[in-house]
């Protein structure tokens, strides 16, 4: 897989060392989000482990509450994460556009966020960067968590709790 397999449509986000574009996958016609990250910047800013954490969580998740990682690949200069595209945008944009959510909308998104976080915790991961920008809205109006660059696995935490419990 190479980046020329994707036809760029629009830039939908920019980050510390990359950007996210809506692209059309030429082989299937599927509309996807392609996160393109500069390797050199990742090394300079010592962010390799953060990028690895994001890729690992997305690859492992396979749950409806987390944006789906379709493919990942790299070339000489960039690392690419190809994910499902959520046409509803993010919760921050929704809040800006609506100004105020109705009580029913607020209850709905809060309930979905709780379920999403519970599902991520069952994967023994902690997101650590929950904010409206990282809560996407899919074509059905449901939320999906994205941007797991600051996430942590909590395997050792469970080990220590088990050890203390059995003293």
pLDDT digits (tens, 9 = 90+) for 62-78: 999 999 999 999 999 99
pLDDT in tens, 33-54: 999 999 999 888 888 888 898 9
Taking the C-alpha atoms of 90, 94, 95 and 97 in order, what is their torsion angle to the nearest 10 degrees? 140
Give all domains of the chain, ordered by start, each with its CATH number: 3-165 (1.10.510.10)
Question: Can you give the pLDDT at residue 119?
Answer: 96
d(CA 155, CA 146): 21
The catalytic site residues sit at 129
Give me the residues of the chain with pLDDT under 50, please. none
Tokens at 167, concatenated: 């003293």
For the whole model, what pTM was predicted?
Answer: 0.87
Tokens at 17, concatenated: 């060392």
Sign of CA dihedral 71, 80, 13, 55: positive
d(CA 166, CA 125): 23
């Amino acid at each position: 897989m190479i980046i020329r397999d994707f036809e760029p449509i629009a830039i939908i986000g920019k980050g510390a060392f990359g950007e996210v574009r809506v692209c059309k996958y030429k082989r299937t016609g599927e509309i996807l989000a392609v996160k393109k990250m500069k390797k050199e910047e990742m090394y300079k800013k010592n962010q390799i482990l953060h990028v690895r954490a994001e890729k690992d969580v997305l690859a492992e998740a396979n749950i409806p509450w987390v944006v789906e990682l379709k493919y990942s690949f790299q070339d000489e200069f960039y690392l690419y994460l190809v994910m499902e595209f959520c046409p509803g945008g993010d919760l921050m944009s929704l809040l800006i556009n609506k100004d105020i959510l109705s009580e029913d909308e607020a209850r709905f998104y809060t309930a979905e966020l709780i379920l999403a976080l519970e599902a991520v915790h069952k994967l023994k991961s902690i997101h650590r960067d929950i904010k409206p920008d990282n809560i996407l809205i899919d074509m059905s109006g449901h939320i999906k968590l994205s941007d797991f660059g600051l996430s942590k696995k909590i395997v050792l935490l469970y080990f220590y709790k088990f050890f203390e419990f059995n003293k």
